[in-house]
């Protein structure tokens, strides 16, 4: 049965979703396993749901059927430890809304917006948030007006990074240092996505900052309703922070706190909160930056970053005084508060 609105028992039943159809399937399974362990450490009951590469939801190997309005397996809250399309993009969030169950993380709109690198950068730009220069390219437009598109991209200078607009974990990204290779890089990115973003090369340190929502008992007037972590600096051996650096043992090192000035550190935390609020996020997010001296540029925002205890987000929160079990517990409490709050509105 659902937890009654306004009620938050000490022990929760949490359904953890992991896997999914995206190229980040294995990363999600690792995140889900860690989330389950953290929840159990807090004394919660966990129900595991694995989403296969075929998109089917399974509980203990058996296909799962659900009905709108009936919740999910009697869980008080759902923790969708899913990354990338078909999980972090608003599709699963929309399904959970129809089931009428509380769930961790961003809602439908913020999830769909944030996973689209072009739309999210357009939104941040409209809000005056400093970013890397970029050009969004739709596949149909490139096929019809390749010369015009290439001229627009050329204004960014070289090198640039070509990325599928809806993927994470550095999947499908290419660094282009020679103009004659641009069309080839775009075609390769279109194999992953019909929308591609081309970003100018940014200099300086790669810095990441976690954002975590505040419970109602912690909020006070004039505060943003969320806290920003101590910023961390990403160190890696290669030319840029690619998939291998992220997921190969020893491929990257997180240094906390980041080796940036106090002024830049304050600016990172302020922009992380501003980006979180601007995107309409809930619960959590990780905001990535480039910091060159006192110049701070937002790179992107992730609504469900990797979630193992050794993932960047978890390490940043631990450095900010929040241990992993308490982190996953708090996220569930935030989800319950949001669900109860939204039930008070008459739509």
Catalytic entry in 58, 139, 247, 280 = 247
Residue 299 bears catalytic tag: no
Residue 194 bears catalytic tag: no
Instruction: Enter the tokens of residue 182.
Output: 């641009």
Helices (H), the chain: 25-41, 91-99, 108-115, 117-126, 139-144, 146-154, 182-190, 243-247, 262-278, 312-319, 324-342
Contact 168/84 with Cβ under 8 angstroms?
Answer: yes
Residue 302 bears catalytic tag: yes
| Residue keyed to tokens 């999600």 | 28
Residue 38 bears catalytic tag: no
Cα distance between residue 135 and residue 247, in whole Å: 28
Cα distance between residue 212 and residue 283, in whole Å: 6
Catalytic entry in 169, 275, 314, 320 = 169
Catalytic entry in 24, 199, 282, 329 = 24
Catalytic entry in 50, 306, 313, 329 = 306
Residue 306 bears catalytic tag: yes
Complete DSSP assignment for 190-252: HTT-SEEEEEE---SEEEEEEEEEPPGGG--TTS-SEEEPPPEEEEESSSS--HHHHHSTTSE
Instruction: Enter the tokens of residue 138.
Output: 């739709």
**CB neighbours of residue 130 within 10 Å:** 14
Cα distance between residue 301 and residue 331, in whole Å: 18
Cα distance between residue 331 and residue 283, in whole Å: 6
Q: Is 94 exposed, middle or buried (0-12, 13-18, 19+ CB in 10 A)?
A: middle
Catalytic entry in 286, 330, 333, 338 = 286
Residue 169 bears catalytic tag: yes
Catalytic entry in 288, 311, 333, 337 = 288
Catalytic entry in 31, 111, 302, 314 = 302
Instruction: Enter the tokens of residue 66.
Output: 């659900």
Which residue, 26, 24, 80, 85, is CA-closest to 48?
80
Catalytic entry in 300, 314, 320, 324 = 300
Active-site positions read 24, 169, 247, 286, 288, 300, 302, 306
């Amino acid at each position: 049965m659902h937890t009654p609105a306004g009620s938050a028992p000490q022990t929760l039943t949490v359904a953890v979703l992991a896997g999914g159809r995206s190229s980040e399937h294995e990363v999600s399974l690792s995140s889900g396993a860690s989330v389950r362990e953290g929840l159990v450490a807090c004394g919660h009951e966990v129900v595991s749901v694995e989403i296969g590469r075929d998109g089917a939801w399974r509980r203990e190997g058996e296909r799962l059927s659900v009905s709108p309005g009936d919740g999910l397996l009697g869980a008080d809250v759902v923790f969708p430890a899913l990354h990338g399309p078909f999980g972090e993009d608003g599709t699963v969030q929309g399904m959970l809304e129809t089931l009428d169950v509380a769930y961790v993380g961003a809602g439908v709109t913020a999830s769909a917006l944030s996973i689209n690198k072009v739309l999210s950068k357009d939104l941040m730009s409209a809000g005056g948030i400093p970013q890397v220069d970029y050009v969004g390219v739709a596949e149909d437009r490139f096929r019809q007006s390749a010369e015009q598109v290439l001229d627009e991209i050329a204004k960014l200078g070289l090198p640039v990074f070509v990325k599928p607009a809806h993927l994470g974990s550095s999947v499908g990204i290419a660094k282009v240092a020679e103009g004659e290779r641009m069309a080839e890089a775009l075609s390769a990115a279109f194999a992953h996505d019909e929308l591609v973003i081309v970003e100018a090369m940014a200099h300086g340190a790669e810095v990441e900052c976690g954002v975590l929502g505040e419970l109602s008992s912690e909020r006070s007037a004039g505060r943003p309703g969320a806290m920003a972590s101590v910023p961390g600096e990403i160190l890696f051996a290669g030319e840029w922070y690619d998939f291998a650096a992220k997921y190969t043992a020893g491929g990257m090192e997180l240094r906390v706190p980041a080796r940036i000035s106090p002024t830049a550190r304050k600016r990172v935390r302020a922009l992380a909160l501003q980006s979180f609020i601007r995107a309409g996020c809930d619960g959590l997010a990780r905001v990535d930056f480039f910091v060159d001296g006192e110049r701070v540029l937002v790179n992107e925002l992730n609504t469900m970053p990797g979630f193992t205890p050794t993932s960047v987000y978890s390490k940043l929160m631990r450095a900010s005084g929040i241990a992993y079990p308490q982190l996953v517990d708090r996220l569930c409490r935030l989800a319950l508060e949001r669900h109860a709050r939204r039930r008070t509105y008459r739509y």
